[in-house]
């Protein structure tokens, strides 16, 4: 069997909520709360799974001074 290649978080287009928490040092619960808001600019739904769009998430963080 071929081993799945690991891609560094900073090179991924989308991350899981857990990866986004590690990447940003923001808690999983807070990211999940933000992602549940209507028209959240950085969430992508794949079926029932929520993914975080990295570039949009970075932009959201840089534009806000308080979460």
For the segment 7-57, what is each residue's pLDDT rounded down to a tens digit? 888 889 999 999 999 999 999 999 999 999 999 999 999 999 999 999 999
pTM: 0.84
Q: Residue ranges of the domains in the chain?
A: 9-63
Nearest to 23 by CA among 55, 63, 67, 65: 55
CATH 3.90.105 fits 9-63, yes or no: yes
DSSP letters spanning 30-61 = HHHHHHTSTT-TTEEEETTEEEEEHHHHHHHH
Give the sign of the dihedral formed by CA 25, CA 31, CA 32, CA 35: negative
Distance in angstroms (rounded) separating the CA atoms of residues 23 and 58: 10
Is the distance from CB of 62 to CB of 42 less than 8 angstroms?
A: no
């Amino acid at each position: 069997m071929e081993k799945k290649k690991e891609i560094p978080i900073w090179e991924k287009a989308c991350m899981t909520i857990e990866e986004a928490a590690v990447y940003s040092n923001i808690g999983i619960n807070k990211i999940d709360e933000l992602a549940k808001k209507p028209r959240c600019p950085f969430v992508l739904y794949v079926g029932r799974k929520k993914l975080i769009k990295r570039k949009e998430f970075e932009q959201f963080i840089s534009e806000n001074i308080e979460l």
